[in-house]
Each structure stands twice: as C-alpha cells, then as structure tokens.
Chain A
Amino acid sequence: MTTSSVDIALFATKIGLIFFVILTLAAYLVFAERRILAWVQDRKGPNRVGPFGLLQPLADLIKLLTKEDFLPAAADKWLFYLAPAMAAIPAIMIFAVIPFGAPLNVAGHTVPLVVADLNIGLLFFLALSSIAVYGVAIGGWASNSKYALLGGIRGLAQLISYELSMGLSLVPIVMLARSFSLTDIVNAQAGVPFIVYQPLAFIIFLISITAECKRIPFDLPEAEGELVAGFHTEYSGMRFGLFFVGEYINIIVLGGLATTLFLGGWHGPLLPPVVWFSLKTLSFAFFFIWMRGTLPRLRYDQLMHLGWKVLTPLALLNILITAWWLMLRT
C-alpha cells in the first residue's frame, strides 16, 4: 500500500513539474522570440520590465488577464469559448508520450521520465495532432467574421495537407526502430541517431512540423498582411492568450518530438540526459524563430504544391528506399 502511494506521489509530481515547465517555457519562448527577432532585425526588443526585460512575460500575463473578454455579436457563443482550449489541450497532451530523460532512481523506485510509455506512442501523437485542427477551424468559424473564417479554412486545408507528409515521413523511423513506442525509438538510437540514416525524412518532417505549427513560411492561417490576424482576429484577453501560448507549446512539443525521433532523444555525452533533451528541443525552437526572421511567406498555391506534389511523393519514395535497404541488409 505504501509503495503504491509513493508511486502515485512521484507520478503526480512528475505531471505537475511537466505542466509547470512547459507553460513557463512557452511564456518565455514568446519573450525569446521577440528578443531574437529584434536582434535579427537590428532592434532592441522588450528590455524594460525587469533585468534584460526578463519579467516581460509576467507583465503580458497581467495585461491579458485584465483585458475585456470580448464576444462578437453574431458569434457562436459556446464554440467561440471552446475553440482556444481545443487548440491548446492536444498540444500539451502530446508531451505525455515523449521521453525526456533516462529513468531515474528515487528512493528505490525507478521513475521513467515519460508520463505514459504507450506501445502506440507515435500513433497517439498523430491522432492528437489531427484533433488539434479543430481549434483553428472552429475558432475561425465561430467568430463569424470574414478574416477569421478565411484564416480558419486556410488553417484546415494546410493542416490536413501537411499531416499526410508528416505521418509518411515517420514510417521509415518505425521501420528502423521496429516499434511505435517512443521509448524504444530512443533506445534504438543509443549508438547512431536516425538523422544519419534518414536525412530526407528529417527534412520532410521538419518542413511539415513548421507547417503544423503555422510558423512563418507557412503562417497563412494568420497572415497579418492579408487577414488582420487570421483565425484569432476576434479573440481578446486570455482566450487569445490561450491560442498564442498553445502555438508555443506546440513548438516545444514538436521540437521535442523531432529530437526524440531523429536526434537520439536524451542520449548524449557528458551532460545529463534531461539537459541534452532540453538543449536539442530548444535549438529547434531557435531554428523556428530564426526562420521567421529570414523567410517570406508562401503563396497559397505554393503551399499546396509543396505539400502534395513535392513532400508527399518524396516521403513515399523514402519509405520504398528504406524498405529495399532493410530487405537487402537482412
């Protein structure tokens, strides 16, 4: 009885810590993005609140919480209220299957540093990322505004298209690791990370997750120049904040997933595993911000062309080549 209660306490602590770290990290990623973008564009960025502007996320939070929570007159009330949560919750839930460190030993109990080591972990991720589409679409539709609806439709089309190439680019990884469990996939990369065997799959996955995060070459759902703010035009206050933070949580989670699947997860020399995992994940976040400062936005037809006519066939070809290679090797 006592052992089980200790286990439950450890488990609850783990989940609480993950929530705290991810939400804090997402808030600070917003700050980091503003500072790095400013640096790229030869500006100063937010540097007034606290030392180096480090308290800026807190000030933003207070501002968002105290703003008026506005509901457009012709909006669909319940769906309008529900949409931000529908966008943010799947993003947090994906983190449940990502192993972020080697198993720890706490007072005689082995604590695996992953919330749920499902044997279908990768499929769980694909399922939740396909559910995350609803937040964008419903948010855009329920606002009953032209810009929001256009953003919602664009988001829907983009997310469906790039989900396909993302899923297909992960098939070779499963073939190499011979498992859908992310823990097994990390263990299979103890020697050589999969990026060495699968550079093409890595590139396809990276482009697809950029589209899934709606980051800059693919930010058509919220293109400021054309659609005001896209699907979240009509949102204000903390509901907008939830959409916003959800996007940054998505960046962290998808970066962590790319780390787990291609860069060997928490494996690495000298430094402790959790530090390696965080470093790799944050380097993906930095890469996304860097791209935002560098690249222009794609046109809608270019977006669809790239997804359906370039990435998907390449991913299929990659599966075929990997299968041949595995067959010849055995």
Chain B
Amino acid sequence: MEQIIFYILAATAVIATILAITEKHPVHAILFLVTSLFSMATIFYLLMAPLVAVFEVIIYAGAIMVLFLFVIMMLDLGHPEKGLSPHWKEWLPAVILSGVSIAALVVVIVSRHAAGAVPAAMPTIREVAVSLFREHGLAVELISLQLLFALVGALYLGRQQIDTKSLPPFQGEGRGGDGVDLSMRHGLETHPHPSPPPEGEGTINGKISP
C-alpha cells in the first residue's frame, strides 16, 4: 500500500518538475513546481519525517513560491511570448553545474546501498530543536545575521529606487500606502495593451539590476 502511494507520488513529482521546466508560462510553471513540492512533502511524510514534510510545505510551497507568484502578478510578467530560448553562452554554465551535481549523485548512488542510507529512528521535534539550537546554535545565529544583512541591503536598494524617480504626479508623502496602490493600478493599465512602451520595461530592468 505504502509502496503504491510512493510510486504515484514519485511519478507526480517527476512529471510536475519536468512540466515546471518546460512550461513557458511563469504562473503555470510555479503551480507545477508547487505540485512537485507538495508530492515531495508527502513522500517525506511516508518516510517517517513529518517535520521535514511540513517545513517543505510551509517554507517552499507556502512562502517562497507565493512570493514568486506575487512578484509575477504584481509586475505583470506573465507573457510567455517574450521568453525566447536563451543564447548558448547563457545556459552553458547551468548545464556544467547541473552536470557536476548529477555526476556526484550517480557516484553516490552507485557506491552506496540504498537500504543502509535511511535512518530507522524518527527524531522528535524536541530532538531536532535541541540539536539545532544547542549544538549548532552559532551557525543558526550566523545564518540569521546573514539573512538580516541581505534584507537590509534589499531595502536599501529599493529605497534608492523610490527616491530618485517614481510616480511624479502623485505626491504620496504622508500616505505611503497610496503610492503602493497607485503603482499597482499603473501596472494594470499596461495589461490590456499587448506592447507597453519600451521605456517602462527598460527602466524596471535597469533599476533592479545594479
């Protein structure tokens, strides 16, 4: 019974991941990836690791993918016709890196027996917490500091962009939220027109990349 469920879930995960890569539309790709993550979480649950399963759903499917979806909807990036196939110079590094990791995976699988690799005991939440915050406490603190740096850096970049030139007609000084709302409406107004003015696209890309 468990084996049948496992094979169904594994097939779902693999097919959904392949579709997530081949799908041109970003929103569809995100949903396929969420499906894949969800079936992977269920596989973790089958392997007696409920904590990993739940974290997979909370963090990856529930937070990161939702954020991706939010950005795609907000900036109106859902135009598959623009996603042309990239130049070989752009995809070559990705091919080399993924080749290295696939080679490593093959070596590991060939050199070890699969049965011995899975630990029999399921650690409780308390054991995980103790090992995380008592044994690896310093690492956790360092990672959280690093995330804080990244957050502050992102905020700094975002603020610079707003201060220089954005929404000149609306002096949204006192009510910050109005600016957000109006910028959203701006994004929408370009929606029905198939080809928005090239300046708008260029400035968005140009501002984010430096």
A residues sitting closer than 8 Å to B (CB atoms) are 76, 79, 118-120, 123-124, 126-128, 130-131, 133-134, 137-138, 140-141, 146, 149-150, 152-153, 156-157, 160, 163, 180, 299-305
Contact = CB atoms under 8 A, between A and B. Distances in A.
B16 interface: no
A301 B177 contact: yes
B58 A150 contact: no
15 contacts: A119-B50, A119-B124, A120-B51, A130-B63, A130-B66, A131-B57, A131-B61, A131-B62, A134-B66, A149-B73, A153-B73, A153-B74, A156-B69, A157-B70, A304-B177
Given A126-B58, A149-B73, A301-B176, A79 B31 contact: yes
Contacts of B61: 127, 130-131
Given A130-B61, A156-B73, A302 B177 contact: yes
Interface of B is mostly: helix
Nearest to A298: B177
Contacts of B69: 134, 137, 156
B125 A180 contact: yes
A160 B66 contact: yes
Contacts of A118: 50
Interface string B174-209: 011110110011001001000000000000000000
A160 B57 contact: no
A304 B66 CA distance: 17
Contact of A300 (B38, B125, B177): B177
Contact of A120 (B54, B70, B177, B185): B54
B54 A123 contact: yes
B11 interface: no
B103 interface: no
A131 B66 CA distance: 9
Contacts of B185: 150
Q: Most chain-A CB neighbours within 10 Å: which of B34, B73, B178, B188?
A: B73
A127 B180 contact: no
Given A150-B188, A157-B70, A127 B125 contact: no
B27 interface: yes
A65 to B, nearest CB: 28
A134 B34 contact: yes
A227 to B, nearest CB: 11
Nearest to B178: A301
A28 to B, nearest CB: 31
A323 B2 CA distance: 41
A140 B78 CA distance: 14
Contacts of A299: 175, 177
Nearest to A178: B126
Contacts of B8: none
Contacts of A123: 51, 54-55, 58
Interface string B27-65: 110010010001000000000001100110110011100
Contact of B184 (A120, A126, A150): A150
Nearest to A226: B181
A160 to B, nearest CB: 6
